[in-house]
Structure 1
Amino acid sequence: MSDQGAQDNKIVRLKLSDQVFERLRELVASGELAPGDVVPSERVLMERFGVGRPAVREALQAMQSKGLITITHGGRSRVNALTAGVAFSQLDDIAKLLLSSEPANIEHLKGIRHILERGTARLAAEKCTSKDAADLSALIDAQRAQLGNAELFMKADIAFHTRLAQITANPLIQAITEMMLTWLFEYHASLLLWSGREETTLSEHAEIVARLLANDVEGSERALEDHLSRADSRFSLGNQV
């Protein structure tokens, strides 16, 4: 047998805390521990798995870091509801590291945004109701109220595009959109000069809403693409306009 083959067949001994983590994760996956359930006490887990307190505590901390449970000091820990937002939040740190270590990835992410949001606009146009359009219009008003405050204006922009994604009724699209925009705006924040073009953003948002309300699939995609293309000209690295 080759050295590589011998290494591939080696049995890796997991830490006790890792084994406890896997058992707990299986309990959540199987539904034995459902969202909102109280996590068994450390003593109960120690007895159930036949391990010491350090292994249990380390496993519980790992569960919390993965967003699977919430540990409340002075209270009982509970199982979190598993949502797309919880899942994608686990990518946050590594995604930011990837973007900061390789600036070209920001341009790649912007390309993904075009693909995702154009498709989102088409889906949303098919489903948009008057209530959806009213919500988006209210978010435009809220964004207008932040004129002069770049950070809050950008956060309001994220809220608008996230609500637009919500219309698709696809929680994965909504979660990805919100995370993607948060990453993009964090790295563009230092490059932006808000020099009177906020009104252009607001009018473009209004045009998108009008196309959505009319259930105009092609028009909604076109309005969204025009908006993103114009935004890209402002958000180009090294080009403040």
Structure 2
Amino acid sequence: MAKNPTTPSGFDVAPITRQKLSDQVFDRLWEMIVSGDLKPGDIIPSERKLMEKFGVGRPAVREALQMLANKGVITISHGERTRVNEFSANIALDQVDDIAKLLLSAEPSNLEHLKQVRKILEAGLVRVAAANCTEDDIRTLRDLVDVQRRQTKNQKGFIETDISFHTAIANATRNPLLQAVTHAMLTWLFEYYKPLLHWSGRENTTLMEHEKLVDFLEAGDADSAAALMREHLDRSDPLYTNTLT
């Protein structure tokens, strides 16, 4: 009795799918950017030249360019030539900004996860800052403490200055990834800042802790700075609550 033919081992492959023309144009342009054929600051060829180069119509070119713009890779400006953007961590994080906020709103437990991430991140980055901060960094941090002190009766201003203070510590690390991640994380977190009645009047505690943090950073005392940062964030935890809980 004849046996049925069998599929060779390891031949389980996905079927070939037809790709939209705009997707193919996008892939080609993406490859040119990744390979360095198109560098940050370079002008993207005109729509007509791209149509001729790729043998496609204007709609496919325009859609591909818009996809690149949506990813922050290029900037399309009316009346100006389209250029490749400078690449940075901020561009990458801008792409996940809306999704991150949606995750926080849709799943209350994610706010607690974000608080945990903040503690781990900031306790670590303050150590790096202690080893790298300059006199200018210290001056900036002290100026921000003074600004925040003048904002004790202005809730919005106090919060915004708090973000600036913690971001300035990240800036002192000289690590652009830490800077971008910290700013994004704080922006997401502070959307859930809720001033609680039993915390009223504790602004002075925040200011005092900020001043001590600057003192430790100026002295290069990484251990004390990290310990104080953990205490500082533990104390402020209840101020961030999800309206869905």
- Please indicate, yes or no, whether the TM-score normalized by the shorter chain is above 0.5: yes
2:117 matched to 1:112?
A: yes
TM superposition shift of 1:148: 2.5
Q: Distance in 2 between matches of 1:7 and 1:57?
A: 36
Match of 1:59 in 2: 64
2:156 matched to 1:158?
A: no
Q: Distance in 2 between matches of 1:147 and 1:88?
A: 31
2:54 matched to 1:49?
A: yes
Q: Distance in 1 between matches of 2:82 and 2:149?
A: 41
Structure 2 unaligned blocks of 5 or more: 1-5
**Count of matched residue positions in the alignment of Structure 1 and Structure 2:** 234
Which residue identity lines up with residue 131 of structure 2 in the other structure? E
Match of 2:93 in 1: 88
Which residues in structure 2 correspond to 1:174-189 (within 5 Å)? Answer: 174-188=179-193
Deviation per CA, 1:82-138, whole angstroms, max 9, x where unpaired?
001111111111111111100110000100110010000111111122221111111
**8 Å CA contact 2:90, 2:180 repeated in 1:** yes
Which residue identity lines up with residue 166 of structure 2 in the other structure? H
Match of 1:147 in 2: 152
Match of 2:135 in 1: 130
Q: Distance in 2 between matches of 1:117 and 1:212?
A: 13
Which residue identity lines up with residue 33 of structure 1 in the other structure? L
**8 Å CA contact 2:129, 2:169 repeated in 1:** yes
Q: Distance in 1 between matches of 2:80 and 2:171?
A: 34
Deviation per CA, 1:142-172, whole angstroms, max 9, x where unpaired?
2233332222321211111111011111111
Which residue identity lines up with residue 150 of structure 1 in the other structure? Q
2:120 matched to 1:99?
A: no
2:195 matched to 1:192?
A: yes
Q: Distance in 1 between matches of 2:36 and 2:166?
A: 33
Which residue identity lines up with residue 73 of structure 1 in the other structure? H
Q: Distance in 2 between matches of 1:61 and 1:237?
A: 35
Match of 2:40 in 1: 35
RMSD over aligned Cα, in angstroms? 1.9
Q: Distance in 2 between matches of 1:35 and 1:11?
A: 34
2:17 matched to 1:12?
A: yes
TM superposition shift of 1:32: 1.8
TM superposition shift of 1:141: 2.0
Of 223, 229, 240, which aligns to 2:228? 223
Q: Distance in 1 between matches of 2:156 and 2:43?
A: 38
- TM-score, length-scaled by structure 2: 0.89
Q: Distance in 2 between matches of 1:138 and 1:130?
A: 12
Higher radius of gyration, 1 or 2: 2
CA 1:38–1:146: 2 relative to 1, 3 Å:
farther
Which residue identity lines up with residue 195 of structure 2 in the other structure? L
- TM-score, length-scaled by structure 1: 0.91
Match of 2:3 in 1: none
Match of 1:79 in 2: 84
